[in-house]
């Protein structure tokens, strides 16, 4: 439990850092606002066409007397699935869009002696590849949990807790990537380090994930999350890896 709250503390340290360095907070908002606009547009389109998608997916229901109710329910499920996917992938897309922004922000919080910053066009392909691998693992867990969410009682109690823990862990994976890469840690090494320090990773990632469930807060908190992740790596996860 002490390690868990240590992770929570790192997020608040990141929040304090951006509060003291307002220009960096504004700098870090730029990619978050862009990503937010992309998701809003995508979700509006999904909301408009969700029921048409449900119709196209269920030609077998044409002869059912209750087809309209079934397709309406499926349309809502499709939209909710898109919304859940947006929450899960917000950090990954924002970090991909804002690679040069967050590299500078993270480096300002956590300067590593001797580290040479590479041009963003060289690091972007690796960043996208790593994010896709992480997304694969996230979906591997969250798709079954999404289905279990419709099970009475369990779906409203146990599943949300497990889902928040899994999403929080992988959010920590995403956010600590920049600071760990500055220390020369490849993807497998990063995963291993975070699994070894699971309570710390959850303590940082779960509160951030819960804040990301609130759309505007997700935008406002993103720079603090990047700063906090840099401090998490610097002070707790890999203090001697430089």
Per-residue pLDDT tens digits for 118-163: 655 666 677 777 777 777 887 788 778 877 877 777 777 888 888 8
Query: Is 69 within the bounds of a domain?
Result: no
Could you tell me if residue 152 is inside a domain? yes
Average predicted confidence (pLDDT) for the chain: 86
For the entire predicted model, the pTM comes to 0.84
Percent over 90 (pLDDT), the chain: 34
Q: What is the CA radius of gyration of the chain?
A: 19
Task: Give me the domain span that covers residue 178.
Answer: 2-42+91-237
**Which CA distances in Å does 238 have to 112, 131, 181?**
12, 21, 11
- Residue at 79 is within a domain: no
Residues 18/227, Cβ–Cβ less than 8 Å:
yes
161 found inside a domain = yes
Please check whether residue 62 lies inside any domain of the structure. no
Domains in the chain, number:
1
**What does the pLDDT average to over 45-62?**
89
With contact defined as beta carbons under 8 Å apart, do 28 and 226 qualify?
yes
């Amino acid at each position: 439990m002490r390690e868990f709250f240590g992770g929570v503390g790192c997020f608040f340290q990141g929040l304090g850092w951006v509060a003291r360095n307002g220009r960096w907070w504004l700098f870090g908002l730029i990619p978050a606002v862009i990503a937010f606009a992309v998701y809003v547009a995508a979700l509006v389109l999904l909301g408009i066409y969700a029921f048409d998608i449900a119709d196209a997916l269920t030609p077998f229901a044409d002869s059912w007397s209750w087809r309209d109710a079934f397709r309406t329910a499926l349309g809502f499920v499709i939209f909710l699935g898109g919304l859940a996917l947006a929450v899960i992938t917000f950090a990954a897309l924002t970090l991909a869009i804002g690679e040069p922004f967050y590299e500078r922000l993270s480096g300002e919080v956590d300067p590593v002696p001797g580290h040479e910053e590479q041009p963003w066009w060289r690091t972007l392909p690796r960043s996208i590849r790593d994010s896709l691998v992480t997304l694969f693992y996230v979906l591997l867990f969250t798709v079954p949990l999404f289905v279990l969410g419709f099970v009475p009682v369990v779906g409203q109690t146990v599943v949300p807790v497990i889902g928040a823990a899994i999403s929080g862990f992988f959010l920590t994976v995403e956010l600590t990537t920049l600071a760990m890469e500055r220390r020369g840690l490849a993807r497998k090494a990063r995963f291993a380090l975070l699994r070894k320090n699971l309570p710390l990773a959850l303590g940082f990632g779960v509160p951030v994930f819960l804040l990301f469930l609130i759309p505007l807060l997700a935008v406002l908190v993103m720079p603090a999350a990047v700063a906090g992740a840099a401090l998490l790596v610097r002070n707790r996860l890999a203090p001697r890896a430089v």
